[in-house]
Amino acid sequence: MENAPPRMPALFIGHGSPMNTLERNIWTDGWRALGAELPKPRALLVVSAHWYIGATAVTAMPAPRTIHDFHGFPPELFAFQYNAPGAPDVAREVAEIAKPTPVALDDSQWGLDHGTWSVLAHLFPKADVPVVQLSIDRTKGGEHHLELASRLNALRDQGIMILSSGNVVHNLGRIDWHAGNTGADWADRFDIHVEQLMRDRPGDILASTRHPDFRAAVPTPDHFIPLLTTAGLAAESGEAVLPMFVGRTMGSLSMTSYAVGLARN
């Protein structure tokens, strides 16, 4: 087809602290540099760790609100607004292509949470690309999320970039405020194991759940499941997975990110 849009890359971003929205550091500088090389998509479909509910839903409102889903941060962060438009037409496309998984069209309840806007503030700072969020169904296992991703992959040929936002290692109970941009031994081991799987056989990403450090690295599944979306997209398309921004911070958070199908000069 002559006017078919180019296939959009897919991304997993380790988003870390909400303060990354406002801060300039090695991670956010990397996100800004990445944003400068990304093609401009028709829309963004974002799977955020922070919309973790008992169903699959997609935001379908024309103007999603900025959700400040945290507490204890400075007023400047609560004042931040990411006023990207929504895309009800894209939400309907998502619901159609996800079948037989039922996807509810949410036209009033959710919006954009910080797992989405803390990253997009740097990747697409003008907020000029329509954004829809897809929830994580907490009642489903890993295989479900991989299978759903395999169906969503076709959206990338329709000008839609799929962005997953979470953290491979995310254990807030073991944060070391003095660790700087380093990880504990167990965090390093698990993050490196996942990197090897993502490079070599992303379709087998669930093998990581048998790693001896999995329980420490993933005490709850919410931040890990977005990675399964990216792994499922890579497994379905057969494209190479590019690790980016590899590293840990505060001992127990991984900031490692991944790109699928990213053409680099």
Evaluate whether 100 touches 158 at the Cβ level (below 8 Å): no
Contact 43, 160 (CB under 8 A): yes
Determine if the peptide bond prior to 100 is cis (ω within 30°): yes
CA angle 72, 138, 143 (to 5 degrees): 130
Please tell me the distance from the alpha carbon of residue 105 to that of residue 118, in angstroms, as a whole number.
Answer: 24
pLDDT at 1: 45
pLDDT at residue 263, rounded to an integer: 80
In this structure, the dihedral spanned by the alpha carbons of residues 23, 24, 29 and 32, taken in order and rounded to 10 degrees, is 60
Distance CA 247, CA 191 (A): 8
Pinpoint the alpha helices (H) of 54-203: 75-79, 88-97, 114-123, 142-152, 185-200
User: In a 3-state reduction of DSSP, which class is residue 88?
Assistant: helix
Cβ(145)–Cβ(193) under 8 Å?
A: no
Q: Residue-wise pLDDT tens for the chain (265 aa)?
A: 457 778 999 999 999 999 999 999 999 999 999 999 999 999 999 999 999 999 999 999 999 999 999 989 999 999 999 999 999 999 999 999 999 999 999 999 999 999 999 999 999 999 999 999 999 999 999 999 999 999 999 999 999 999 999 999 999 999 999 999 999 999 999 999 999 999 999 999 999 999 999 999 999 999 999 999 999 999 999 999 999 999 999 999 999 999 999 987 6
- Specify the pLDDT at position 4: 73
